[in-house]
Amino acid sequence: MEVNQNTNSVSTFKTSKYYKVILTIASLVVIGLVAMAIYSAAGEYQELQPDASMSQAVFLNNGEVYFGNITTLDEDYLVLEDIYYLQVTPALQQQADGTTVQDPNQQPQVNLIKLGEELHGPEDKMVVPVSSIIYWENIRNDGQVATAIAEAKANPDNAEAAPAVDANVAPQAVPQVAPQPAETVEVTEE
């Protein structure tokens, strides 16, 4: 009999006003906590926006690095404008037999190139999926790349406006390991 009375007590409590009030309050608390978490995350995301007074370096997962101004950044895409990139030219040495090989004793020349003069004629605006980005960072205005960009902007008609960057400090993305080819399986018909 006591079991039935306890079961009846629980059933009575679940249908009572107090149970509904407690359930409503608990639901509101959970909804409030979720809303606070979303608001907090949005606030943190806003803090991660690029500094408009600086240029940014964008490191892609294919090893490429671009410099410019991030004008849009959301959870899906980054838009980079006023774009520059580094072009590395290895130091070459001519051999006695007339062949040319890379000189291991000399640093390669690293030049800053303005996007837009390539064969395919790209617009000076790049939309990059966030999934292709390793990271991005603001670059100091007194850094070597930012200084070279400022000089190039000050002398747009000068072919030497984008001076060489020291190869010892030129930023590079971490190259990804290429996936190994799948094993080939020969299928024969019987």
> How many independent structural domains does the chain possess?
2
21 and 94 belong to one structural domain: no
Q: How far is the CA of 110 from the CAs of 45, 51, 144, in angstroms?
A: 34, 26, 12
- For residue 9, being part of any structural domain is answered with yes
- For residue 172, being part of any structural domain is answered with no
- For residue 183, being part of any structural domain is answered with no
The reported pTM is: 0.58
HSE-CB of 96 using CA atoms within 13 angstroms? 0
Instruction: Please tell me the distance from the alpha carbon of residue 67 to that of residue 112, in angstroms, as a whole number.
Output: 10
Give the chain's mean pLDDT: 76
Question: Tokens for 178?
Answer: 């290429």
- For residue 127, being part of any structural domain is answered with yes
The residue to which tokens 């006695």 are assigned? 96
Domain assignment of residue 76, given as a range: 55-165
Contact between residue 72 and residue 78 where contact means Cβ atoms under 8 Å apart: yes
Q: Which residue type does 45 have?
A: Y
pLDDT single digits (tens) 54-95: 999 999 999 999 999 999 998 899 999 999 998 888 888 788
9 and 102 belong to one structural domain: no
- For residue 181, being part of any structural domain is answered with no
22 and 113 belong to one structural domain: no
- For residue 170, being part of any structural domain is answered with no
pLDDT single digits (tens) 25-52: 888 888 878 877 776 665 554 457 898 8
- For residue 189, being part of any structural domain is answered with no
